[in-house]
Structure 1
């Protein structure tokens, strides 16, 4: 009987001592990142289960809580980066309403034009217009440069995050190997902690889910279903960054056309997958970086390009609108396209026999064959785009348009309408399509130096990339619109001859208000159509407003987007904190709970020790008999 009690006490003492070690380890790791609370399982043994033996050392955690924690970690990394970069973007425009903000600089320019209209013969007033125009061009350019700086920084961040994520994938695979080969419980749980911490860190870069296998290893996949780690094998991630980015640099699935870096996953077998093209990454900092670099910031650049283009062409172009024409051969429209330049798009509104409406956009080019047109650079992304070669002889304009439209339309020019450069376009005879209207924006000057063209329009703003040239929206040699915000400048010919802001020709009186008033109205009251790609008013249809109002709409849109991003980030931070609290509630070490366990274990240890003492005294007594 005494031997049985002695064995039981010895087993209890050993088990209690091991349990005290586990509790002490838990207490020592309070607050340690990645540490999961341990517990010791015991096994009853001996006659009548009178004894106890050591079982296994387990980690105490809820698998669902861990999955939720990783999901919220990915989300928080995504919203955090989006809010941070959007906040930086919003600051580029300045505080709305202040004189140094974009809207304030635009208002100063329109005010200078208004002042010139009141005193057109004032040299200081003319100089003030040039100075205000230069300040506005500089402001637009500096914001655009800031946008590209943010894109470049995002490109660099993508490179760093890709490298870090690839390193974590490799570490997880190596830990899988160690876990499968380790039989010691204490060592295994430590390795499991390291692997879970690596997975948690990985979830900050991209959305992942882990499936635990029977041997203790994990398979890691993205939420889109791509396998990144399979036991001991891990894909490696690489990023072919392009350094400093410009407005013309964009993502394309075609490597020959791509101007930015992409994330490539290389499988253990040597296969490669473009994770950006396959949309495999949907959350985390990598997803945020891709969206910012390829969508958010390019749209901000496009808004500035559209603003610069609208600013330039509202002052230099006239709006040509077709007038109804009816002949014995059909109905259509006459339109005066005198002075049409490459890039001065002609929009024909059509309605089919079922009532559906669409636009057909003719884009002139000086090249033969005509230059290709980027669909996103026209106002209507759903329109049918027809480029055509612009002949030097205005009398051939109708023939050029007719060749581009095909035999369905009847197009005549010059003598038929009675004015060189004017054309008549009739509704197709087959009756399936009806022309609803024709319009175009036609640049009135032939060159940047042509500032006294006898018309109120003047090329006050020009394309300052290299030699100053007219901005017409040309596609010859590439899209003139792309990056125009960085190149817009005050026309040197106007700056050198400020009286041209008033004098339309040599015979114009010095106090003529016609041109100053036209320029002011062109910015503040006349409506222009801005492209759907700018995102103002939606991305599926063009937006029509004045240039001054478009400036305000840009600031409002960026401010609203920033506020939304910050709101989402705050909400996601709360969700992450809740997930962390829930996980810590199960797996975290609570010092009071562990101290209570320690006191109980110490009591049990003392009790077992007393049993051993009693058994020893009994044996001693027996031996003395």
Structure 2
């Protein structure tokens, strides 16, 4: 090997050492920088007929495509569960834990106890006043919780708007990074830094919305949602959000754009195609997906449960039940049901047996015809009962086996059917349930809890939206009772204050009157069904919300644990180990010293050679 070759080899070694030291210094300087991927020097051997030496061709950056893809998905899922858990944990704080002061079950127990006080001493002003106060506490709590839920829904809209703005900024930044990655004159260090920026942006986008990243060989990245909608490729899609303003309990999402009363989130592709992300179910993860779920499902269901409590509370106080009377002699056996006081939303309960097997039917007074079986197995039929003769014909086809008749517009007659002795149909009971129209002279039931404008609550289904929807936000105490608490016991004008009949009637209603939430279980699929007495339904709501929060917190913790595990693995593959880098520094120092020594010796030999000539 000649002196020139030795000098060339040593100088190339010094250059490689210098490039390696530059990379090593970057690694150590960025050892604590989030998202930094450690780099390594790429060295190749160059061989010719006269010499062989090493040279660097740039820095390589630690990167694992499958690990990065898994990380991106988990970031999206963790953000989704995290935002939902955060809101639900706050909601549980507002609802209160079972048995605590201010919780619905505690307030309801207080109302029941105050009614017992009236039943014991109906002429006691203090007892009546306490009952009115307990009723007011229930109303104020329902109003407050309803307002809180709508406030949280409004908050989700504000956060959606902010996230959409940030998401557009991140996608535009990522597009710029893609453009710069195509610069072939970029240094290896600059390219590696740009790739770090790319991955940080992809992770930030994944926190907002579920994405799938396609990492290209040239360093660019394409993004699409898990449902296949493109976000970034040959152009950038743009998100937009049109807020609905203030949200009320009646402002709900509808897949039909003209009927939806909540904010709309749209996506416009580079080609100009506009997609309604919510209506088309594009969002499957990320913080935005969690916010949409909260606004349109979770918090709406919580409001619906409060509405159930409010409506059933009003009905338990205002409902008068009248049992059907046996048909007159000379008529087929059956019952005559009085429709005189029937209002929209009032109903009839029938119990009958077919071949010895008991069946139940609830007939609701409404112009909206429907027919389904509720969560308790009871058949529910919607029929206009304003005219008994017309109702007779409508019911005959909906309840096979029973025979319906009528003696006039205010009568509905239900008859046994013994035509088939082996499978005889026998009417066992029939009750018409009507809502009291006032506080006196309208039965033991009275409308203590009323709608806006002191209007009675009948659970009218013919209004748009139905009267029950949002009732928890509107429920109030009848102004007449607030002005005169004697009405808590006086069911008739001039009645004695010592009459405990009204108080006992309401106590019995609260104990035994049964309710079922929602409508057709098929149309209410996915929603928790409440059933039972009012007290049981309140307990179910408090228990359901508690279990929902616990499930959300557990899901968040599980996903966070999975994400932490992936991050640890990424730190192992991508992160800088300072001890290893320092050991590498010693190696480079030794190699540098050896190459420098060779250069020095070659210089001495060349000097001696030139001196000799």
Please report the TM-score for the alignment, with normalisation by the length of structure 2.
0.89
Range with bigger deviation, 55-64 or 125-134 = 55-64
1:18 is matched with 19
1:220 is matched with 223
Tell me, in whole angstroms, the C-alpha distance in 2 between the residues paired with 1:7 and 1:439. Answer: 108
SS of the counterpart of 1:258? coil
Selected match of 1:171 from 173, 184, 187:
173
Residues 237-264 of structure 1, C-alpha deviations (whole Å, 9 max, x = no match) = 1111112211001111222111111221
2:390 is matched with 400
| Preserved CA contact (<8 Å) 1:262 1:274 | yes
| Preserved CA contact (<8 Å) 1:337 1:423 | yes
Q: For the aligned residues, what is the CA RMSD?
A: 3.5
| Preserved CA contact (<8 Å) 1:74 1:284 | yes
1:394 is matched with none
Tell me, in whole angstroms, the C-alpha distance in 1 between the residues paired with 2:607 and 2:121. Answer: 123
Tell me, in whole angstroms, the C-alpha distance in 1 between the residues paired with 2:424 and 2:78. Answer: 52
Q: Does 1:472 align with 2:472?
A: no
1:46 is matched with 47
Range with bigger deviation, 316-325 or 580-589 = 316-325
Structure 1 residue 98: Cα displacement: 2.6
After the TM superposition, which residues 88-237 of structure 1 pair with which residues of structure 2 at under 5 Å, given as runs?
88-184=90-186, 185-230=188-233, 232-237=234-239
Tell me, in whole angstroms, the C-alpha distance in 2 between the residues paired with 1:594 and 1:17. Answer: 15
1:259 is matched with 261
Tell me, in whole angstroms, the C-alpha distance in 2 between the residues paired with 1:148 and 1:289. Answer: 14
Range with bigger deviation, 257-266 or 473-482 = 473-482
1:589 is matched with 576
Please report the TM-score for the alignment, with normalisation by the length of structure 1.
0.87
Tell me, in whole angstroms, the C-alpha distance in 2 between the residues paired with 1:385 and 1:270. Answer: 48
SS of the counterpart of 1:459? coil
Q: Does 1:423 align with 2:412?
A: yes
SS of the counterpart of 1:233? coil
| Preserved CA contact (<8 Å) 1:69 1:580 | yes
SS of the counterpart of 2:262? coil
Tell me, in whole angstroms, the C-alpha distance in 1 between the residues paired with 2:456 and 2:324. Answer: 25
Q: Does 1:35 align with 2:41?
A: no
2:468 is matched with 481
Shift in CA distance, 360/318, structure 1 to aligned 2, threshold 3 Å: closer
Structure 1 residue 379: Cα displacement: 8.1
Structure 1 residue 47: Cα displacement: 3.9
Structure 1 residue 182: Cα displacement: 3.5
Structure 1 residue 386: Cα displacement: 3.9
Q: Does 1:493 align with 2:480?
A: yes
Q: Does 1:445 align with 2:429?
A: no
Shift in CA distance, 223/614, structure 1 to aligned 2, threshold 3 Å: same
Residues 41-79 of structure 1, C-alpha deviations (whole Å, 9 max, x = no match) = 101013487310112311112222212221221121111
Tell me, in whole angstroms, the C-alpha distance in 2 between the residues paired with 1:352 and 1:624. Answer: 127
Structure 1 residue 434: Cα displacement: 7.9
Q: Does 1:457 align with 2:459?
A: no
SS of the counterpart of 1:279? coil
| Preserved CA contact (<8 Å) 1:399 1:411 | no
Aligned pairs, number: 600
Tell me, in whole angstroms, the C-alpha distance in 2 between the residues paired with 1:286 and 1:270. Answer: 22
Structure 1 residue 181: Cα displacement: 2.7
Q: Does 1:578 align with 2:565?
A: yes
Shift in CA distance, 22/320, structure 1 to aligned 2, threshold 3 Å: farther
| Preserved CA contact (<8 Å) 1:398 1:411 | no
Structure 1 residue 619: Cα displacement: 0.5
SS of the counterpart of 2:279? coil
| Preserved CA contact (<8 Å) 2:326 2:334 | yes
Residues 542-587 of structure 1, C-alpha deviations (whole Å, 9 max, x = no match) = 5432212221221111111111111111122111111111111101
Structure 1 residue 227: Cα displacement: 1.5
Structure 1 residue 104: Cα displacement: 1.7
Tell me, in whole angstroms, the C-alpha distance in 2 between the residues paired with 1:217 and 1:383. Answer: 60
Residues 409-445 of structure 1, C-alpha deviations (whole Å, 9 max, x = no match) = 7643246xxxx83312469999999898886763342
Shift in CA distance, 580/611, structure 1 to aligned 2, threshold 3 Å: same
Shift in CA distance, 74/146, structure 1 to aligned 2, threshold 3 Å: same
Unmatched runs of 5 consecutive residues or more in structure 2: none
Structure 1 residue 156: Cα displacement: 1.1
Range with bigger deviation, 555-564 or 498-507 = 498-507
